[in-house]
Amino acid sequence: MQPTVRVGEIIDYELSYSHDPSLNVIFPDSTAVYAPFEFVGKTYRPTRTQRGRSLDETVYHLRTFALDSVQQLTLPVTILRGLDTLTVPATAATVRLARTVAPVADGTVPVLRENTTLLPVKPAFNYPYWLAGLGGLTVVLTGVALGFGRRWQRRYQLYKLRKNHVYFLAQYARHVERFTLSRSLTNMERAITLWKNYLTTLENNVINSLTTREIVAHYQNDADVRLGLRLADRVIYGNQFTEDETETDLAFDLLRNFAQRRFELEQARVGNGSTGIKIEELKN
């Protein structure tokens, strides 16, 4: 579509074919041979049919790096006829190469101009190095997690155990003090309920829903549990108050001491990392 072209400059080549509307016509695509040109892109126009003739047009965007003074291009059009094809070559198109450097005489050396000034280049993100660094960091973190993860987990579990135990002792002492001052059965019942709930959380059992007899059996007839709960039940359910506070104080002390022992067993189990050993086995 223009008479001359420079090296590397994009030039448009228009290919059109007028045919019968019943024909199936295929124009070249990017896989065709465009030598001595290179394919850059194309722009096609919809088929137009007027007075019994169809016209197909496509503009190809090409460029050349060949140094021939005159360059030609012929693109074929393919017509489909059932299982056969017919190739129709187009008329050769010619273009002249416009030189930007004057030709030199034989044997002479052209004068070259040196330009070593650095041009600014936009920094590019180095994906391979960043991905390699991220992979290395992942490996290191995985190794640290495998090497120290269990230790950190045990420390965190021990921290939670101690924190919950301190909270239990404070709340338990508060209920005992209120009972001592008011002699109210409600405060004593709250202390026993707190004791059951604490052991339920500590050992992941269900003793807060068991009866006194079932709790004693669960702890293998432990003397502190048996006597402490029996004294508490006699006060709460039997309403057998005495002026002497020895029995109630004994019940509170026995249950608190038992909770302390269970806490120490659980703390030893977590500290040793023996998650599969039961508390009863450690006690034995």
pLDDT digits (tens, 9 = 90+) for 83-138: 889 999 999 999 999 988 766 666 676 677 888 889 898 888 888 888 998 999 99
Looking at residue 257, its pLDDT comes to 93
Dist CA 219 CA 133 (whole Å): 55
Give 280's pLDDT tier (boundaries 50, 70, 90).
very low
Rounded to two decimals, the pTM is 0.47
Beta bridge partners of 64: 37
Share of the chain above pLDDT 90, in %: 48
The closest alpha carbon to 240, from 183, 172, 181, belongs to 183
Half-sphere exposure of 66 (CA within 13 A, CB side): 17
Confidence bin at 70 (pLDDT 50/70/90): very high
Q: Which fold has domain 4-97?
A: Immunoglobulin-like (2.60.40)
Residue 272 has pLDDT above 70, yes or no: yes
> What was the pLDDT predicted at 276?
41
Query: What pLDDT is attached to residue 281?
Result: 37
Give residue-wise pLDDT tens across range 193-226: 999 999 999 988 888 888 889 999 999 989 999 9
Query: Residue 162: pLDDT band by 50, 70, 90 thresholds?
Result: very high
Q: Of 73 and 144, which is predicted with more confidence?
A: 73
pLDDT band at 277 (very low <50, low <70, confident <90, very high): very low
132 contact partners, CB below 8 Å, separation of at least 6: none
